[in-house]
Structure 1
Amino acid sequence: MNLANRITMARIFLVPLIMFFLLVKMPLPNLVIGNFVISYNQVIAALIFIIAASTDSLDGYIARKRKLVTNLGKLLDPLADKLLVTAVLVSLVEMDKVGAFIVIVIISREFAVTGLRQIALLEGIVLAASKWGKWKTATQITAIIALLLNNFPFHFLNFDFDYWASWVAALITIYSGVDYFLKNKHVINVHT
């Protein structure tokens, strides 16, 4: 297994660790700064998430730069991304930090686009990610980090950045999904 694929696998293996720190009650104290309170569990989970999310660009860069692009990597990379985002979002719903509606929208788009990609693969067509897909990923990661950190540092400004970032992520997710289907409707037309 090459370096790029190892990095992708590491991202997958970090998912249960993040969930452990988010969902398992541990006797760690809270971090308190004035009226801002966050558990050390959440801080640790957020740091692991940031590390995992940052490897998304790294593995692709290494694969392209060193000519290590493989079919395994093409399969694992989007799977790792979806596992990471889905697991953390579902955990945040469980923790009552984000609305289920937003999470359902995001996960539904991922299933729909993955389905379209699978149909295209049956025809031997590889569907590339669009700029809106990249914006979708960036806004989702930004929203997740804000939610994991209890809206730090925006809490001190009395601005609900985490709330608004979640809605922006949901709207861009919807738009990117619609854009993806419209640009690739030829794949659907072949099978109707």
Structure 2
Amino acid sequence: MTLPNKITLLRLILIPVMVVFMMIPSWNDLQIFNTTIGINELIVATIFTIAAFTDFLDGYLARKNNQITTFGKFLDPIADKVLVITAMIYLVSTTRIAVWPVVIVIFREFVVTGVRLLAVEKGTVIAASPYGKIKTAATMVALLIMLFSDFGLPLLVGDIVWYIAIFFTLLSGLDYVLKNKAVIFESM
């Protein structure tokens, strides 16, 4: 097994650990970034940060060392989606974010995955769009800001970055469908 695949597996292992700390009631609040955060919330945010970094690291190492594998292509996006959705569900449970944007994100992921499956069946590989890359970056930044109790910034800052991420989620999903409509209609 390649190092990038081991790093992807580490990300998957970190997710249930993060969930355990999400379920623990807050204890011993700390003052960080001019805001109060519970130790368990800090642990959740730290685990998310480490896991998000492994997303960058595994891809970088796989490309740099020419270790791109079918297993990695399959598992990496799943690990990313589960990590992001887990963080979003946590933020919904804390009432930091509403449910409807999370539903949009999940719906978009199902649509894009479905289109990718159709394309694979036709022997086509679909490259990631620039909008999708912006969506991913904005989503990770928004989640980091909100998980770290907005870094002492006004809540509006986290909200602005979050809604930028949702905008690019919609835009990238629409772009994905429009650019691949031939694959979709051929399958009907």
TM > 0.5 between the two? yes
* CA distance in 2 between partners of 1:103 and 1:71 (Å): 29
Amino acid at match of 1:17: V
| Map of 2:16 onto structure 1 | 16
| Map of 1:7 onto structure 2 | 7
Matches within 5 A, 1:1-192: 1-25=1-25, 28-32=27-31, 36-155=35-154, 160-192=156-188
Q: CA RMSD in A?
A: 1.6
* CA distance in 2 between partners of 1:160 and 1:20 (Å): 29
* CA distance in 2 between partners of 1:118 and 1:185 (Å): 13
* CA distance in 1 between partners of 2:2 and 2:184 (Å): 35
Unaligned runs of 5+ in 2: none
* CA distance in 1 between partners of 2:159 and 2:90 (Å): 16
Unaligned runs of 5+ in 1: none
Deviation at 1:35, TM superposition (A): 7.3
Q: How many residues align?
A: 188
Q: Is the 8 A contact 2:8 2:58 kept in 1?
A: yes
Aligned to 1:170, the other structure's residue is in SS state helix
TM-score (norm 2): 0.94
* CA distance in 1 between partners of 2:33 and 2:166 (Å): 31
Aligned to 1:151, the other structure's residue is in SS state helix
Amino acid at match of 2:159: Y
Deviation at 1:119, TM superposition (A): 1.1
* CA distance in 2 between partners of 1:65 and 1:166 (Å): 31
Amino acid at match of 2:119: A
Of the structure 1 ranges 15-24 and 129-138, higher mean CA displacement relative to structure 2 is found in 15-24
Deviation at 1:32, TM superposition (A): 3.1
* CA distance in 1 between partners of 2:76 and 2:85 (Å): 14
Aligned to 2:178, the other structure's residue is in SS state helix
Amino acid at match of 2:89: V
Cα separation, partners in 2 of 1:34 and 1:5, compared to 1, 3 Å: closer
Q: Deviations over 1:8-35 (max 9, x none)?
A: 1111111111122222225x30013697
Q: Deviations over 1:75-123 (max 9, x none)?
A: 0010011010011111111121110011111111111101111111111
